Homo-oligomer: A and B are copies of this chain.
Amino acid sequence: MKHYLTINDIDSLPKWVEEARIIKENPYHFQNLGKNKTLCLLFFNNSLRTRLSTQKAALHLGIQVMTMNFGKEGWTLEFGEGTVMNQGTSEHIKEAAHVVSQYCDILAIRAFAGLKNKEKDEAEEILNGFVKYASIPIVNMESSTAHPLQALADAITLAEHRPKSRLKVVLSWAPHPKALPHAVANSFVKMMKLQDAEFVITHPEGYELDSKITQGCQIEHNQDKALQNADFVYVKNWSSYSDYGKVFHQDASWMMTQEKLGNAQFMHCLPVRRNVVVEDTVLDGPKSLVIEQANNRTFAAQIVLKKLLESL
């Protein structure tokens, strides 16, 4: 593996999940692996879980960490080719990526979708700019279109809690007051396509995800029907993809409730808005896996960092 940019960079999801679960049993077992290696975390957006869990994973492996809030502690990057840089951008991605590559061994980047311009977001100019010009492995800590560390943590969580036999997983859209990106949903869908499971996506009409990603997936606009006999319900808001970044409605009837959930286990990537996305009863009840999903972020990051260290 050269980089960890999307869930497709995983060569065998079952093997990675198995290995992550072994690491979780003894997190410091490989703490000599990262000796004299440095991970740099560049945040173009805010973060809680990702910031702490990725650092923790590095510490488990004995990797030194340098963290930088790029926009607040640095300056604005230029991505255009041939641009006359006499406006707001102070440094070109070409220089920034080359230079940062010299100060660390692995580079992790968080850069969210702006949700104003679909083409620009899908170009992933920050993440792909670093991939293009850096000389070291890059880890995606959530980009415009993907959050593969989250999806890997979700896969670990599913493996820990799945029933022995059959498996039905539902991804259910939820209302939210703000326009949110598609990254978490995209990566979850991609990850589910690698699972031996029945998988249904449910959302109001107009909230279709990128069809290139959901291709082959079962989409059901009737939430009740979708939720029938579900083992796991993954709830997440996203803004419109076709009418890019728009919030059509915040229909409260789509909020996840204990009644709708039934016996299914509840998943969400967090942060979650209580009583908007999901009611308190669900989060405070025994079927919620959200805290364990967050815990598994450490081990998802750790398996990724371990694989990258081994390939250095």
Contact = CB atoms under 8 A, between A and B. Distances in A.
A82 interface: yes
B56 A66 contact: yes
Nearest to A290: B95
A102 B92 CA distance: 38
Nearest to A81: B280
A83 B82 CA distance: 51
A76 to B, nearest CB: 10
B95 A272 contact: yes
Interface string A78-119: 100011111101111011101110111000000000000000
Contact of A48 (B51, B74, B78): B74
Interface in A230-274: 250, 270-274
A23 to B, nearest CB: 14
Given A53-B103, A294-B102, A46 B66 contact: no
Q: Sorted from nearest, which 3 A-B pairs have the closest CB atoms?
A: A91-B271, A85-B273, A52-B103
Interface of A: 28, 31, 36, 38, 40, 43, 46-49, 51-53, 55-56, 59, 64, 66, 68-70, 72-75, 78, 82-87, 89-92, 94-96, 98-100, 102-104, 177, 250, 270-276, 280, 283-284, 290-291, 294-295, 298
22 contacts: A28-B36, A38-B56, A46-B74, A46-B75, A48-B96, A48-B100, A51-B66, A56-B66, A56-B103, A59-B64, A83-B275, A84-B274, A84-B276, A86-B177, A86-B273, A87-B177, A91-B272, A95-B272, A95-B283, A98-B291, A102-B298, A103-B298
